[in-house]
Structure 1
Amino acid sequence: MDFTDKINATNQKNSFMLHNGIRLTEMREDYAKVEAHLTRENRNLYGAVHGGMFLTMGDCAAGGAARTNGMRYVTVSNSFEFFRNTKSQHLIAEGRIKNRGRTICVAEVEISDGEGRLLCGGTFTLFCTGSLDEIPED
């Protein structure tokens, strides 16, 4: 499976990402980018982006970057920092692999708005659970 196939499969089959309006838009070795066009449902009581949306996007970008080696991963921990919020309608999360072992993978994530302002970021530790070929069809 090449990266285009992985992007298409994620965008068609990941119901959690679909539910939250997040799309995988770029993938290459040890890197993934996810994007979201925000709606009212992604915002908190004050009209700012909900912190859970930021963290969800970060997790999706980290997982995408981890999967570029053809294996499945689950997040076991993360450390996340919020710098500022935005009224922007567009978010971009980029995940880059910092270290990859046999079973543990560490990814760094940065999230920016549509104007390129850094909003938040963090470190995600993921555990390898097997080959992507072992994912059930339904």
Structure 2
Amino acid sequence: MDYQRIIANTNRDNSFMRHNGILLTQMEKDRAVVEADLTETNRNLYGAVHGGMFLTMADCASGGAARSNGMRYVTVSNSFEFYSNSKGSHLIAEGKVKNRGKTICVVEVEIKDDTGKLLCGGTFTMFCVGKLDLDSPTNGS
């Protein structure tokens, strides 16, 4: 599996991730990491990270972990819990596959800040929709 190519394609072609300042930084079998430098646009009225930013990063990390087998996935459902917040400047979300079937992949995600503090996490159920085509902009991301 050409993980570096998947990472490059995702960071180039996924406009939603780019819009939110999220980068896929690591991928290996059954694991992916996304990261984001935080700005005022990622924060809520109180200056803390907006819950939607956490959930968006978790969804991106779970998609990356699921796609690490060379197939395309979409999110079916998730369960997500917030433990703490951060006024830090950087977030890291790590997704790890917990179970992979022929069409369903279950991924656990944790998000930490730049100090390593665990902020939130959840479980994502992903549905396989076909094989990745790294030559197509819509399939590599």
TM bracket, shorter-chain basis? over 0.9
One-letter identity of the residue aligned with 1:126: M
Report what 1:131 is aligned to: 131
Report what 2:33 is aligned to: 33
Q: Is 1:3 matched up with 2:3? A: yes
CA distance in 2, matches of 1:54, 1:117: 14
CA distance in 2, matches of 1:108, 1:135: 29
Matched-pair identity in %: 70
One-letter identity of the residue aligned with 2:16: F
CA distance in 2, matches of 1:111, 1:134: 28
One-letter identity of the residue aligned with 1:103: T
How far does residue 133 in structure 1 lie from its aligned partner after superposition?
1.4
**3-state DSSP of counterpart to 1:69:** coil
RMSD of equivalent CA atoms: 1.2
How far does residue 31 in structure 1 lie from its aligned partner after superposition?
0.2
Provide TM-score, normalisation by structure 2. 0.95
Provide TM-score, normalisation by structure 1. 0.97
Stretches of structure 2 that go unaligned for 5 or more consecutive residues are none
CA distance in 1, matches of 2:135, 2:90: 31
Listed one character per residue, the Cα deviations across residues 98-135 of structure 1 (whole Å, up to 9, x for unaligned) are: 00000000000000000000000000000000011188
**3-state DSSP of counterpart to 1:133:** coil
CA distance in 1, matches of 2:4, 2:74: 21
Report what 1:117 is aligned to: 117
Report what 1:105 is aligned to: 105
Q: Which has the higher contact order (CA 8 A, sep 6+)?
A: 2
CA distance in 2, matches of 1:134, 1:113: 31
Residues 58 and 98 (structure 1), Cα distance of their counterparts in 2 relative to 1, 3 Å cut: same
After superposing on structure 2, the runs of 4+ consecutive aligned residues of structure 1 that deviate more than 2 Å are 134-138
CA distance in 2, matches of 1:108, 1:137: 27
Kept in 1, the 8 Å contact 2:97–2:105? The answer is yes
Report what 2:53 is aligned to: 53
One-letter identity of the residue aligned with 1:122: G
